Structure 1
Amino acid sequence: MSFVEYGDTIQEGDTAIVFLGHESMFPVKVQHGSKTQTKTQILYSTDISLITMMLELKPGSIVCESGTGSGSLSHAIIRTVAPTGHLYTVEFHQQRAEKAMEEFREHKVEHLVTVKNQDVCKNGFGVSNMADAVFLDIPSPWEAIGHAKSALKVEGGRFCSFSPCIEQVQRTCLALEEHGFTEINTLEILLRVYNVRTISLQIPDLGKAAEDNSNPGFDSSNQANQGVMCGSQQQGTAQFKSGVPLREMVGHTGYLTFATKSLS
């Protein structure tokens, strides 16, 4: 007689199912040190607006970013720090870095941005003690915390990291504490859209006896009261606003971790 073996934890050599959605899932073999990459995600307006505010970006700000990806956040940062600020963005993949630089030239903002093709975890941003803010969107942000600290100005510089998994957040927070960052907090932003519509509901006819009992002071012989009741009965319905959330939310699960560089 054969049995199916189960384990409480994933072991080396096990097969795990990467579930991205009901129409997108695939198996991977678990191997120590290996990585599985999925398609590049973009940051939506809800994330971007919070990042811009919490990093305290304004015209003239100096910002370091990694990775550049599709350039969705990069363009938002450039618009915010223009005309006197600058963005230093690092992208690990050469083709993405070249594509981003091409788009910056096409959009005539290349004078506001410097693109570097390198590993930020090993080589950093190429700037020292001059950035007002640093943003990370990489698989292992905890490995780049030291470089982020070096890039930020001496005191008060702001830090933000985007991660889709809470385990990444935990390791990043530990690294931030080890490097002396303060005001560490993590937020999850989800866009919830409601379908608002006007509905008409029938006014229930509870009968004259129910009306008299529900309002002891009601005098059916009073002409004014009769007019009010007649008016309600003639209309027959009442209109209400109804809000129902959509079955699917636009966006993705992700966590934004913020921190401040302290003088130490």
Structure 2
Amino acid sequence: MTNEELTNKTEETQETQDIKTNENTESVEKKEENNVEMEEKKKEKKEVKPTWKYYTYDGSTKTKKLVIDKRGKKYLIAKENKEFGNDLGVANLTDVSEGNVLPTHKGDEFYLVEPTAFDIIKKMKRSVTTLLPKDIGLIIAYCGIENGETVIEAGTGSAGLTMYLSQAVGKEGKVVTYEKRPEFAKIARKNLEIMGSVKLNQPIIGVDEEPVETEPILNEVAESKKVYNVIQKIGDITEGIEEQDVDVIVLDMPDPWNVVPHAKQALNKAKGRIAVYVPYIEQSKKAVESLKENNFLDIITIECILREMDISEKGVRPSTRMIGHTGYLTFARVCPEKLPLNEE
């Protein structure tokens, strides 16, 4: 190949490279333009404005909101979220409180409401299996837990029962919950933070933790209403109960009979009640024997079977699925004692 031919070949190669470079540059610029255009369209879709007035609500002490779509699907989201979306579209949550209908960019609607303890428990992180609402409801009902009372719980687990107890005693009451395993107590704390029952990174008695720098207020509403009413403790309650003059003691643990003598001393003699939850009947038997040995009154053991009903235009029938045995519940009342006469 002559020098002239080589030069021509080089020039052709250079021209080809320049053309490809220009094409690549144009392609990149076009993609960027398309991306900008898509983002603008996406933004326009998200900024769908309702044709109705929004309801104002500022009473929730929880750090989560609940979104329900038209199919009944539920989504627990952080309170600070500015938007929410699924296959039905995207809705703007900026400055929108619970109690509102949210339009999506696809023409559908979401319902934004305050979650209950039941909603939070279904979505929360768990360290162990939690008691079901059917059993928790019986504990609160049979023990007659009221606003302003002091309740001792063991063990904490994932804090499912703790949440309901916290709601039952109200801001004037107190729940002290014992847990032997620090790792479980930390998971429970995160769940209780969602409910507004404890402050953010509230210290757990018995756990050495490095100080955490946080904002002074977890939830302005919870802070203003003073609803932080749960105290977490690491300890083995079979070794004793520090609190005295307690209204209710709830035991969800493998060996509750070992706590009964301590419960007798800790309970208020006028109205002290105790509830024991165990999965096996032999455990119930041992618990009842211990309660009788310690002169407890009004002892009863029950089991709750839950069956949902299917109601439609075609008729009414029991659901083919049901929640059968979960555990046995034993309730009792502490026995008043004869106080010695003062010797003169």
Interval containing the TM-score (normalised by the shorter chain) = 0.5 to 0.7
Where does residue 233 of structure 1 map in the other structure? none
After superposition, residues 33-112 of structure 1 pair within 5 angstroms as 40-110=128-198, 111-112=228-229
TM-score w.r.t. the length of structure 1 is 0.65
Offset of 1:155 from its aligned partner?
2.9
TM-score w.r.t. the length of structure 2 is 0.50
After superposition, residues 132-151 of structure 1 pair within 5 angstroms as 132-151=247-266
Rg comparison, structure with higher value: 2
How many residue pairs are counted as aligned between the two chains?
A: 182
Q: What SS does structure 1 have at the residue aligned with 2:259?
A: helix
Where does residue 193 of structure 1 map in the other structure? 308
Offset of 1:252 from its aligned partner?
4.2
Question: Structure 2: which amino acid aligns with 1:126?
Answer: E
Where does residue 245 of structure 1 map in the other structure? 319
In 1, the alpha carbon distance for the partners of 2:258 and 2:274 equals 14
Where does residue 126 of structure 1 map in the other structure? 242
Q: Is the 8 A contact 2:163 2:195 kept in 1?
A: no
Where does residue 232 of structure 2 map in the other structure? 115
Q: What SS does structure 1 have at the residue aligned with 2:178?
A: strand
Q: Percent identical across equivalent pairs?
A: 32
Where does residue 77 of structure 2 map in the other structure? none
In 1, the alpha carbon distance for the partners of 2:274 and 2:329 equals 10
Q: What SS does structure 2 have at the residue aligned with 1:103?
A: helix
**What's the Cα RMSD here?**
1.7
Where does residue 328 of structure 2 map in the other structure? 255
In 1, the alpha carbon distance for the partners of 2:324 and 2:136 equals 12
Closer, same or farther in 2 for the Cα pair 1:251/1:42, shift >3 Å? farther
Offset of 1:98 from its aligned partner?
2.1
Higher relative contact order (CA 8 A, sep 6+): 1
In 1, the alpha carbon distance for the partners of 2:318 and 2:194 equals 42
Offset of 1:197 from its aligned partner?
4.2
In 2, the alpha carbon distance for the partners of 1:106 and 1:49 equals 21
Where does residue 30 of structure 1 map in the other structure? none
In 1, the alpha carbon distance for the partners of 2:177 and 2:289 equals 25
Where does residue 167 of structure 1 map in the other structure? 282
Unaligned runs of 5+ in 2: 1-126, 199-227, 338-344
In 1, the alpha carbon distance for the partners of 2:182 and 2:316 equals 50
Offset of 1:198 from its aligned partner?
4.7
Q: Is the 8 A contact 2:150 2:174 kept in 1?
A: yes
In 1, the alpha carbon distance for the partners of 2:186 and 2:180 equals 11
Residue deviations 1:8-48, cap 9 Å, x none?
xxxxxxxxxxxxxxxxxxxxxxxxxxxxxxx8221111111
In 2, the alpha carbon distance for the partners of 1:252 and 1:188 equals 7
Question: Structure 1: which amino acid aligns with 2:236?
Answer: D
Bigger mean CA deviation after superposition, 45-54 or 97-106:
97-106
